[in-house]
Structure 1
Amino acid sequence: MIVKREWIAMKKLRSVTDLEFVCDHVDHVVTLFSGGLDSTYLLKLLSERGVEVTAVAVDLGDEPDIPALHRVASTFGAHLRVVDLKHTFAREAALPAIRAQARYLHNFPISASLSRPFMAQAAVDIAESLGCGAIFHTATQSQNSLRRINGAIEQLGYGGFYGSPHEYTSVSRSEKIRALKAAGLASFEQRIVSGDSNLWCREFESGVIENPEGFVIPESLFTWSRPDAERQTDIPGHKFSITFQAGVPVAVNDGSMEPVPLINHLNRIVGAYGIGRFTGLEHLQGGEKVLEVREAPAAQALMDAYRHLETAVHSYELIREKAALEQLWVREAVEGRWFGTLRDAIDHFILRTSQEVSGRVCYDVSGGQLNVESIQAGCPLYLKERDQWESQKAASSSARSLVDMSSSEQPSAPVPEQLALGA
């Protein structure tokens, strides 16, 4: 058991009791606020303790309902700050994730591992600018966001209290829903899962999909990857292409786009064919596993296209070494060490390898799958005419063989007399 003096030195809060202590000693706090069940319940807890609250909502491209966020925040007397980081997130998280082939155990695209550092950065910046003595969030021990948010706040050097009161204090979803309903917010009764989203990925856990041994995924959870014949008309002939320049996706078909609209566009057109759904287990810090469901059509298409192009332009040895480092990059992100030296160093290596990755990959999606139709790289190592290459290779090898035979048949040059005598 950590005594109070040591706990204060660590400045990490973990329970509702810790929350009460902090609120007695600071007059202004920041809390991360998504408008979901957990973050709204935290606003209720804080409102009952008479502390000034700034609720920070971070827009990562998931189109938050800002008027609704304002209504909920005002219900509990909190000041709402909305921070638009979608372009920063696309540039500094999604693009590196494409280059690093950032899939958890090669299975599904990582998402919260990418978003949490940017949310923590926004919270720290605002807390420091307002002189707030604490940063709260709502991650629990069954959510890996706990160590990702805490880890990012630690790495950013924030000097106040920080953490989640629900790390050591467990409150069930039903209890939170009842408490918020009593406060006049009944809409949370309709929430059947916990969700998290950004422009890169939408993911779900808990609730009706909690038990890996028996679950049914409601179709209503999906937005991007719901088959839609009307949206399929956005791809003429069910074919599209993705173009990269120096490792950056710059166009879909002939339409040049910046990263945010490009990712949004691919989510729309690729997802219309039911492409981009993932289900898998993710480990907790103690080794236990939890089930997660995701949809990420753009991520699937962009990482697939990038891998084809980098394979086309780089040597086997380079690809092999990069592939080994990719999962190390993912591990550092997953374990909450986004701002650490190791991930940064690997990122620089991967960025260097991306400079030669230019070209276009064309797909046919008529069968509901990403079927590659062509790979057109800028400086490729692949063969386009194998028979012609075989003939040239055979002729070249034969010529070298004749030269070698001719050289071996030449008489040895006479040895000068003085050398022969050892003079």
Structure 2
Amino acid sequence: MKEKVILAYSGGLDTTVIIPWLKENYDYDVVCVCIDVGQGNELDGLEERARLSGAVKLYIEDVIDEFCDDYVVPCVQANAVYENKYLLGTSMARPVIAKRLVEIARAEGATAICHGATGKGNDQVRFELGIKALAPDLKIIAPWRIWDISSREEEIDYCHAHGIDLPFSMNNSYSRDRNLWHISHEGLELEDPAAAPDYDHLLVLGVSPEKAPDEGEIVTMTFEKGIPVSVNGKEMKVADIITTLNELGGKHGIGIIDIVENRVVGMKSRGVYETPGGTILLEAHQQLEELILDRSTITLKKEMGNKFADVVYEGKWFTPLREAIQAFIESTQQYVTGEVKFKLYKGNIIKQGTTSPYSLYNESIASFTTGDLYDHRDAEGFINLFGLSLKVRAMKMAEVEKNKK
């Protein structure tokens, strides 16, 4: 009996070519696994395509709710954003995909897992670190680091030579990755940092701010312990909240970023990311936190959130460090409960009011009118102590200067 290999399968040209290549070079039975994290109609027709390409079996695994509940929510609670812009759309989907690939490899008795990530990108790191952490005994095969194929034309020729005549076009388009949280775009004019993006041709989830409606739209959200639970008064599971916010945000030109980021492998790359719902969700969560968390907690949480973003971006989800940071983040979310209202208008999210039963905002203290809990005269003693080190240093420096004369 032949050994089995699990192929992370999308149905695109790259993973289609890999099927006959694995059979030819390793004599494996190829089991294709497509992990559904919200790619939408990209999954249409995969069964026939996998069969015609020579796979012995195809799994289509719906992990959308697991992705949203166990991977997206912790990133939202952490306010995790990589390099101040990237909302980790591709990054946080990779560990749930790796986890499911390993589970199916165990069920099938496979000896290897194969992925179609290139040797220049981040995904090879994320997939392989996940697999190593969960199944260190499994062999990992990365064809793009091994084979001699170097172009789309050569891939199509390889398919034809192995009796696969699927309708792959030679169109020159963007390289995209899509899930429920976002869609990324790379390639074409984006490879030149000096070139402006062609948004009319590029955008998928929404419109540019210029083409958004001239009238804003009020949206209300509620959270319980840092987890979103409703939009405009309707309670929904997290996946449906993201879907709803994607529609609202896309309509109003929310969440389009153009970034030159630093990849794990050392190079810089430019991409345009559309994250309409995620951008709204993170902004709403932060609006609520600033009402509830104390200054010291917010300060440390920002540092931990940035570290959490780095850990996720680098593919280190299945590590003690990620678990430890997440435990801290979750402890800060105990009272992050309340309602956030905002207006969406031409790419902007504009506050319209925030309420929480755990709000630390006290009008009596904050008001210019003197309240019972704050005596203006107390500030003098506080400032004297708060600035004591500055005063002592200034006195010492004055003494030093005097002694020089």
The TM-score, its normalising length taken from structure 1, stands at 0.81
- 1:44 maps to what in 2? 20
**Residues 204 and 302 (structure 1), Cα distance of their counterparts in 2 relative to 1, 3 Å cut:** same
- 1:70 maps to what in 2? 47
Q: Would the aligned equivalents of 1:192 and 1:207 in 2 still touch at CA under 8 Å?
A: yes
- 1:88 maps to what in 2? 66
Q: Where do residues 101-112 of structure 1 align in structure 2 (5 Å cutoff)?
A: 101-112=79-90
- 2:398 maps to what in 1? none
The reply to whether residue 155 of structure 1 matches residue 133 of structure 2 is yes
- 1:214 maps to what in 2? 195
**Residues 400 and 307 (structure 1), Cα distance of their counterparts in 2 relative to 1, 3 Å cut:** closer
* Range that drifts further, 123-132 or 222-231: 222-231
- 1:372 maps to what in 2? 351
Q: Which sections of structure 2, spanning at least 5 residues, go unmatched?
A: 381-405
Report SS of the residue matched to 2:177.
Answer: strand
The reply to whether residue 115 of structure 1 matches residue 93 of structure 2 is yes
**Residues 76 and 48 (structure 1), Cα distance of their counterparts in 2 relative to 1, 3 Å cut:** farther
Q: Where do residues 317-356 of structure 1 align in structure 2 (5 Å cutoff)?
A: 317-356=296-335
The reply to whether residue 28 of structure 1 matches residue 4 of structure 2 is yes
**Residues 126 and 149 (structure 1), Cα distance of their counterparts in 2 relative to 1, 3 Å cut:** same
Q: Would the aligned equivalents of 2:92 and 2:312 in 1 still touch at CA under 8 Å?
A: yes
- 2:229 maps to what in 1? 250
Residue 259 of structure 1, CA deviation: 0.3
CA RMSD, Structure 1 to Structure 2 (Å): 2.8
The reply to whether residue 225 of structure 1 matches residue 201 of structure 2 is no
Report SS of the residue matched to 1:149.
Answer: helix
Residue 158 of structure 1, CA deviation: 3.9
**Letter of the 1:39 counterpart:** T
Residue 277 of structure 1, CA deviation: 0.7
Deviations 1:147-173 (A, max 9, x none): 100000001024121131212446223
**Residues 399 and 224 (structure 1), Cα distance of their counterparts in 2 relative to 1, 3 Å cut:** closer
User: 1: distance between equivalents of 2:128 and 2:318?
Assistant: 12
Q: Would the aligned equivalents of 2:189 and 2:195 in 1 still touch at CA under 8 Å?
A: no
Identity fraction in percent:
27
**Residues 232 and 251 (structure 1), Cα distance of their counterparts in 2 relative to 1, 3 Å cut:** farther
Residue 38 of structure 1, CA deviation: 1.8
**Letter of the 2:333 counterpart:** S
Residue 70 of structure 1, CA deviation: 1.2
Report SS of the residue matched to 1:104.
Answer: coil
User: 2: distance between equivalents of 1:163 and 1:262?
Assistant: 37
Q: Would the aligned equivalents of 2:292 and 2:360 in 1 still touch at CA under 8 Å?
A: yes
* Range that drifts further, 383-392 or 74-83: 383-392
User: 2: distance between equivalents of 1:368 and 1:135?
Assistant: 41
User: 2: distance between equivalents of 1:399 and 1:159?
Assistant: 65
Residue 335 of structure 1, CA deviation: 1.4
Q: Would the aligned equivalents of 2:82 and 2:88 in 1 still touch at CA under 8 Å?
A: yes
Deviations 1:313-372 (A, max 9, x none): 111111000101111111111111100000110001001101110111111123441111
Deviations 1:221-279 (A, max 9, x none): 3222226999979xx96111111111110111111111011100000011101111111
What is the aligned counterpart of 1:262 among 209, 231, 241?
Answer: 241
**Letter of the 1:77 counterpart:** G
* Range that drifts further, 258-267 or 360-369: 360-369
User: 2: distance between equivalents of 1:167 and 1:267?
Assistant: 36
**Residues 395 and 213 (structure 1), Cα distance of their counterparts in 2 relative to 1, 3 Å cut:** closer
**Letter of the 1:255 counterpart:** K
**Residues 37 and 216 (structure 1), Cα distance of their counterparts in 2 relative to 1, 3 Å cut:** farther
Q: Would the aligned equivalents of 2:118 and 2:144 in 1 still touch at CA under 8 Å?
A: yes
User: 2: distance between equivalents of 1:86 and 1:387?
Assistant: 44
**Residues 206 and 395 (structure 1), Cα distance of their counterparts in 2 relative to 1, 3 Å cut:** closer
Residue 47 of structure 1, CA deviation: 4.4
- 1:189 maps to what in 2? 170
Report SS of the residue matched to 1:98.
Answer: helix
Q: Would the aligned equivalents of 1:229 and 1:272 in 2 still touch at CA under 8 Å?
A: no
Q: Which sections of structure 1, spanning at least 5 residues, go unmatched?
A: 1-24, 402-423
Q: Would the aligned equivalents of 2:183 and 2:275 in 1 still touch at CA under 8 Å?
A: yes
Structure showing greater radius of gyration is 1
The TM-score, its normalising length taken from structure 2, stands at 0.85
Q: How many aligned residue pairs are there? A: 375
- 1:274 maps to what in 2? 253
User: 2: distance between equivalents of 1:203 and 1:387?
Assistant: 43
Q: Would the aligned equivalents of 2:98 and 2:131 in 1 still touch at CA under 8 Å?
A: yes
User: 1: distance between equivalents of 2:138 and 2:373?
Assistant: 71
Report SS of the residue matched to 2:341.
Answer: strand
Deviations 1:382-402 (A, max 9, x none): 24467756321587567999x
The reply to whether residue 203 of structure 1 matches residue 180 of structure 2 is no
**Letter of the 1:214 counterpart:** A
